[in-house]
Amino acid sequence: MSLDKLVEEIIREAVARGDFDNLPGKGKPLNLDEYFAAPEEMRATYQMLKDAGFLPEEVQLLKEIAALKARLEGASGEVAARLKKALDEKTLTFNVLMDRKRARRSRGQRP
């Protein structure tokens, strides 16, 4: 039996057992924005890191920026000022990191 047919048979058996019935995100469209935002030569590496529970620094910063923006929406007064300052710092850190990566790429170095 060829490898392809063996894999297909294993998948059919798993479907029959219901192994794929309650996966996270079932019935929702895949969000591939993050995948395609990564440089093509780094996508496989980023995916392996993600699958292992690690995130590239820029992805972690983007998550932190999004969380700060969400918290800022409902904040006021001094809390809002502190959140805005933290958001500005994270955004600056992200922009500097991305500028460095772009500069390395333009020089032909790895990101």
pLDDT digits (tens, 9 = 90+) for 17-66: 998 888 888 888 888 887 787 788 888 888 888 889 887 788 889 999 99
- In the predicted model, is pLDDT for residue 111 greater than 60? no
Q: Is residue 111 part of a domain?
A: no
Q: Is residue 73 part of a domain?
A: yes
Give the Cβ contact number of residue 68 at 10 Å: 20
Mean pLDDT of the residues in the chain: 87
Q: Is residue 71 part of a domain?
A: yes
The CA distance from 40 to 23, in Å, is 27
Could you give the number of structural domains in the chain?
1
Instruction: Give 65's contacts (C-beta < 8 A, 6+ positions apart).
Output: 87, 90, 91, 94
* Banded model confidence at residue 11, pLDDT cuts 50, 70, 90: very high
**Domain limits at 12?**
3-106
Question: Helix-strand-coil percent breakdown of the chain, rounded to 5?
Answer: 70, 0, 30
